Amino acid sequence: MNKINKEQRSNIFKERVIPAILMTLFILIFMLLIRYSLYWSASQINNDSLYWFLICISLIIVFALAFWAFFELAKSFLKNNILAFFQASLMLLSLLLWIRMYDLFKFQRADYTISLNLLHETIIYDYIYWIILFVNVIVFMISRALDLGKQTNVIGLLRNALHFFITFLVISAFFKTFLFLNLIKSGIFYILLFVIISVAHDIGGFFGGMLFGHKFFRNKLAPTISPKKTYEGAIVGILSSIIISIIFSLSYYGGSRAYAIDNDLISLLTQGGGRTIVLIVFLVLAPIFALTGDLYFSFVKRTVEIKDFSRILRGHGGLLDRIDSITFVFFLFLILSRAL
């Protein structure tokens, strides 16, 4: 038994920790490059051709990732590459039309605070998006009904359609919020904060479960959805996420003073009032939403009977397998942004 434990521990850094760290570094570098192109380049590059070249490259990268995320999701539900490609293309089109409809670049480097009503700006008033999303849901239901024929379970089909709708909504909101935050002042802080919250929760939950699993709670957290998750791991993950996010926020606050940045989390917290309460609620709920996102996507995979959304990331599944918890943290921020 000890030998197995030693082997498991020796493989942790090879199979879980090192890949997670490298992937996190890649994500951070990717986000900084996108931020430079969409925000800092406007004041640091005088050449219009170079400026728009960087903008185009950044948007192409984001669109490629968005398309693949939409494709992974559609394929997992539809079991049909052609229909999945069609639905992913429609969702990507809705993203492009959203940028054009709201003239997204008018927000670039403008003195907008995080209190801008992101929820209405990105979701509620985007009627083209809602039309495309409902078309995709209808196509999904018709396709599955035709495939199953007389074996179609109407209740099950409606339930899967709801999951299909919710998951597409969360992923779309994630990419829209990511693009929007990259254009506004202090946006990079919030993007980094959301990633750190998610990563800290995942790592803390993994080690918490490994070290303390079933020592205090006999039952598993979600045995039918994610059998390996324990209450101990979830608690350690949530606490780790809160602590590390506070440390990061304080560090950013200290460094941002020299640049007269006053829209970061700590600056807004010190202003008092209702906004402070909302921000505290966000800090507490964000790790819980990260856990919820992890469990929800695991539930979706079990519903559609797949292990991973794809195999694009060797040993780590698909893109959605990596950003599951992050998307829910972004979605929470989107919900609360109206009160910020």
Give the mean model confidence (pLDDT) for residues 237-242. Answer: 95
What is the number of alpha carbons within 13 Å of residue 126 lying toward its C-beta? Answer: 28
pLDDT at 19: 64
Tokens read off for 280:
């505290």
Which one, of 27, 197, 190, 213, lies nearest residue 113 by Cα? 190
Q: What is the pLDDT of residue 256?
A: 65
Identify the pLDDT of residue 142: 93
Supply the pLDDT for residue 316: 65
Q: Is the pLDDT of residue 31 over 70?
A: yes
Q: Which of 116, 118, 164 is nearest to 143 (CA)?
A: 164
Is 80 exceeded by the pLDDT of residue 242? yes
* Boundaries of domain holding 297: 2-339
- Token pair, residue 200, equals 């800290």
Question: pLDDT digits over 264-292, tens only?
Answer: 677 777 776 777 888 889 999 999 999 99
pTM, to two decimals: 0.88
Sign, CA dihedral 92-142-311-6, equals: positive
Q: What is the pLDDT of residues 105-155, one digit of tens each?
A: 776 665 555 545 666 667 778 888 999 999 999 999 999 888 877 777 888
Write the DSSP symbol of residue 330.
H
Q: How many CB atoms sit inside 10 A of residue 32's CB?
A: 14
Distance from C-alpha of 320 to C-alpha of 104, rounded to nearest angstrom: 25
Q: Looking at residue 4, what is its pLDDT?
A: 44
Name residues whose C-beta falls within 8 Å of residue 168's C-beta, 6 or more positions apart in sequence: 70, 73, 91, 133, 136
Total domains, the chain = 1
